[in-house]
Amino acid sequence: MVKPLENIWIKVVALLMGLLLWFHVATEKVYKYQLVLPITDIALGERLTLVDAPPDSMTVVVSASGKQLLRQKWRERGIRVLTTQLSTGRHNVNLTTANASLAGAGSFVALYEIVSPTSMLLYVDYIAETQVKVAPDITAIPDEGFTVKRISNPDPAEVTLVGARSRVRTVTTVSTEPTELTSLRDNLTLTLPLVGPAGYQMTLIPDSVMVTIEIVAVKTRVFEDIPVVVYNAPPNKVVSTQPLALRIELTGPPEDIDLLSRDELIASVDFRRLDSNSVSPIKIDCPSNFKVKKVSVNTVRIIVQ
């Protein structure tokens, strides 16, 4: 006599066996299924490439067993479009199961129908390469009491750009990714990724460069009796300033500031910026690697004779 508990287990096992049999039959059955797949490869002739990017994806109908439809790898490998017959120029390519295929499905999944797009415009060009210069895009802000002595040229200073000939020939310079550094006290050597120009599959070799930033403690130097220059004064008028000359304190890299000539400092005022009291603000011009720390006065009075 079968005990009640044993009877329950027998029914459970029978139910599970039935579910497994149903699942096996269901997953072995062939289905047609519509889905969106990425376009992962446009096959062209040797030394040819596309100028502009093709569509990202296609809506297609595939035919496969339920078991294969559950798998993801063949979906990720996407669609391959065969266009090796194309020459350079613009072409409107009709998409069919004759020139499109599943890139990684093998014989288990078949491409049954192209739903959309049913055609695409391809601009084909020769692959070309050229040498382009690298321009670092770096903002280096030193900590107080320090200054940037030098930002080195990128290493390498030129890189190889590979891509469609019509795009490559228009590019002479590429830049690094924008980088901002603050509170710098020590020298740095950075590896900076390059920003590629717009265009389909434009490749930079190498794709990064090295740049060194030299930081030094600043030195202060005082320049006495720097004359004030007046710009845009009225013709046939004699103008002067009060005071006639200024005391300017500059900070900068020690070796550079010791060699700085006073002739490279220009203190000026613009006659057009006079206020009602004939007073104008002072502008100090100096080489970019120096910073004005202090000026004896910030404004001067202009006297017209």
- β-pairing verdict for 173-176 and 119-135: parallel
Split into its structural domains, the chain has a count of 3
Structural domain of 279: 219-304
Residue 21 falls inside a structural domain = no
For 122-166, how does the pLDDT look when each residue is reduced to its tens digit (9 = 90+)? 999 999 999 999 999 999 999 988 888 889 999 999 999 999 999
pLDDT of residue 109: 84
- Check whether residue 43 and residue 65 sit in a common domain: yes
Average pLDDT for 252-280:
91
Least confident of 131-135, 173-177, 286-290: 286-290
- Check whether residue 132 and residue 213 sit in a common domain: yes
Q: Give the domain-ending residue among 176, 191, 217.
A: 217
Residue 68 falls inside a structural domain = yes
Count of helix runs (H) and strand runs (E) in the chain: 5, 24
CATH number at residue 159: 2.170.120.40
- pLDDT for 25 beyond 70: no
CA 8 to chain centre: 66
The span from the CA of 197 to the CA of 54, in Å, is: 17
288 or 49: whose pLDDT is higher? 49
Residue 9 falls inside a structural domain = no
- Please report how many Cα atoms fall inside a 13 Å half-sphere around the Cα of residue 179, on the Cβ side: 21
Q: Give the domain-ending residue among 201, 217, 233.
A: 217
Q: Give the domain-ending residue among 217, 252, 277.
A: 217
For 70-127, how does the pLDDT look when each residue is reduced to its tens digit (9 = 90+)? 666 788 889 999 999 999 999 999 999 999 999 877 667 889 999 999 999 999 999 9
CATH number at residue 284: 2.170.120.30
Residue 295 falls inside a structural domain = yes
pTM as predicted: 0.66
Residue 171 falls inside a structural domain = yes
Residue 247 falls inside a structural domain = yes
Average pLDDT for 273-300:
92
